[in-house]
Amino acid sequence: MNNIVFITGASSDIGEALIKNLTEECVIIAHYNSNNKRLLELQKEIKNTIVPIQADFSSNESIIEMLDIIESEIGVPNKIIHLAAPKFENLRFKDVDWNNFQNEINVSLGSITLILNRFLPKMALQKRGRVVTILSSVVLGVPPKAVTQYTTVKYALLGLMRALASEYADKKITVNCISPSMVETQFLSQINERIVELAAEGHPLKRNATVFDVIPSIIMLMSDDSAYINGVNIPITGGSNF
């Protein structure tokens, strides 16, 4: 198999929907942190091969061990989709300590830095590759209050992706991002339900995004149709102004 798709945070709602909607023949490396139950169920539901692989993205050692296993037992992925992130929570800056920042940095930014540092040079030798990272509408304008660490790391990810898009453009590797507004998933389970309701009420469409609003753009950026799209951040906001 020369089409290997590596999805970080594959056990998330978006990860599960993405796996279900991948119609191309491929091997799917499905990263999870603590719960692989749904991934094991998906193995029976779809035609593509799913290889669940565990890693704690707050630990560099765990990430490196995962990368060693992928490279030695499966192969170098040609498509990398980065979904992994700590669960969203509202914290005012006065209540944030460095541990909050460090966890967000390690899980969201440090993990994909290690992953791409390992695989991008090998993808470059093959002269092909797609990298897609999910960001957030917080990087499209003035962010909401009480999401300092989340916003900071999403901007850092955007900078990393654009830098890599430039560096690897001549290797036929595209590096792109999508930035959805609030998506109703388990990712929001730690914030007040009223905040989610207010976001929907204030949206032009009177609803928040669903995973099905997000998946088509990811699949497009993974496909050959995106060969001339590089270094972009696609807003998926349903007409909201940010």
- Do the domain assignments include residue 19? yes
Q: Which range (82-96, 155-169, 211-225) has the least confidence?
A: 82-96
Query: What 3-state class would DSSP assign to 235?
Result: strand
What is the rounded distance in angstroms from the CA atom of residue 175 to the CA atom of residue 232?
8
Determine the pLDDT at residue 241: 66
- Do the domain assignments include residue 180? yes
Number of domains into which the chain is organized: 1
Name the residue with tokens 């992953």: 115
- Do the domain assignments include residue 242? no
The more confident residue out of 200 and 177 is 177
What is the rounded distance in angstroms from the CA atom of residue 222 to the CA atom of residue 12?
19
pTM of the model as a whole: 0.93
Q: Under a CB-based contact definition with an 8 Å cutoff, are residues 200 and 208 in contact?
A: yes
Q: Write phi, then psi, for 134 (nearest 5 degrees).
A: -90, 125
CATH of the domain at 93: 3.40.50.720
Residue 189 scores a pLDDT above 70: no
Render pLDDT for 105-121 as a digit per residue (tens, 0 to 9): 999 999 999 999 999 99
- Do the domain assignments include residue 61? yes
Alpha-carbon distances, residue 220 vs 24, 67, 87, 149 (angstroms): 12, 26, 26, 29
Name the residue with tokens 């707050």: 58
- Say how far residue 23 (Cα) sits from the centre of its chain: 19
- Do the domain assignments include residue 146? yes
Residue 33 scores a pLDDT above 80: yes
H helix runs in the chain, sequence order: 13-21, 37-43, 60-69, 98-104, 111-126, 148-167, 193-201, 211-222
Q: Which domain holds residue 64?
A: 4-236
| Most confident listed range (83-97, 111-125, 195-209) | 111-125
Q: Under a CB-based contact definition with an 8 Å cutoff, are residues 80 and 119 in contact?
A: yes
- Do the domain assignments include residue 13? yes
Residue 13 scores a pLDDT above 60: yes
Mean per-residue pLDDT over the chain, rounded: 91
Determine the pLDDT at residue 123: 97
Average pLDDT over residues 140-160: 91
Q: Which range (12-26, 87-101, 212-226) has the least confidence?
A: 87-101
Render pLDDT for 72-93 as a digit per residue (tens, 0 to 9): 999 999 999 999 988 777 788 8
- Do the domain assignments include residue 42? yes
Amino acid present at 42: L
Determine the pLDDT at residue 4: 98
- Do the domain assignments include residue 81? yes
Determine the pLDDT at residue 202: 79
